[in-house]
Amino acid sequence: MKLRAVAGTVSAEDREWQSRAGRLSLDSLYDVRAVAGRWAATVGSLTGLLGLVALVAGPRGVDQLPVGWRVVAGIGVLAAIGCAGYATWCAAAAAQGSIGSVLTTYAQVRDSFREQERTATILLNRSKVFVVAAMGALVVAVGLTWFVPRSEQTDYLVVRRGAEVSCVPLKDGLALSLALDEKSTVTVAKKCPR
């Protein structure tokens, strides 16, 4: 870009804005890294939230899904973990930068500075995209546990007393106490015989 002279005198305000523009250009890498550092802390908080949601939804809800949906929910949770991990790595890499060779000329320092700024900006934006992907994958997995109809996998305790048959559905943590005589049998079945 070529600079062109304009008519008129340069004011103190013009000089201040030119000074600010120079500082913005020189400090841009540090500004991006500072934002990336704060974003890394945010990613940590969001990852903790993901873990809390996964803990609350828990395996109990997933256990009651049909097998196919259970696999989809598991893939969603794994995708959320993978995306959150990669987002954290990108944010950390953007905030911390990398070690390179020592540069000796003005042009090398300038070009390296600009390249590091560009790389940090790309990593920061990538981190944001992967956090959104992680949240989306977890929302899908938790949504499956809420909205997919439960599979009916209830076992029944079948009590036969002569010709009489009684069925008791066995649900989570049900405790039974039965007093039986010698003519009674007790079995566990998937369906209640009628």
Domain boundaries along the sequence of the chain = 12-147, 155-189
pLDDT number for residue 138? 84
Residue whose tokens read 């598991």: 74
22: left (phi > 0), else alpha (psi -120 to 50), else beta?
alpha
pLDDT at position 165 is 81
Distance spanning both ends of the chain, measured CA to CA:
89
Q: pLDDT tens-digit profile of 162-179?
A: 778 877 777 765 666 666
Q: Distance between CA atoms of 99 and 116, rounded to whole angstroms? A: 10
d(CA 15, CA 132): 42
For the chain, list residues with pLDDT below 70: 1-3, 5-6, 20-27, 53-61, 100, 102-103, 151-154, 172-179, 187-189, 194
Q: Which pair of structure tokens corresponds to residue 74?
A: 């598991």
- 91 and 36 in contact (C-beta within 8 Å)? yes
Sign of CA dihedral 180, 185, 189, 194: negative
Buried b (16+ CB within 10 A) or exposed e, 61-79: bbebbeeebbebbeebbeb
Q: Which of 171, 140, 166, 142 is nearest to 155 (CA)?
A: 171
Per-residue tokens: 143: 């949504």
Q: Is the dihedral of CA 112, 113, 114, 117 positive or negative?
A: positive
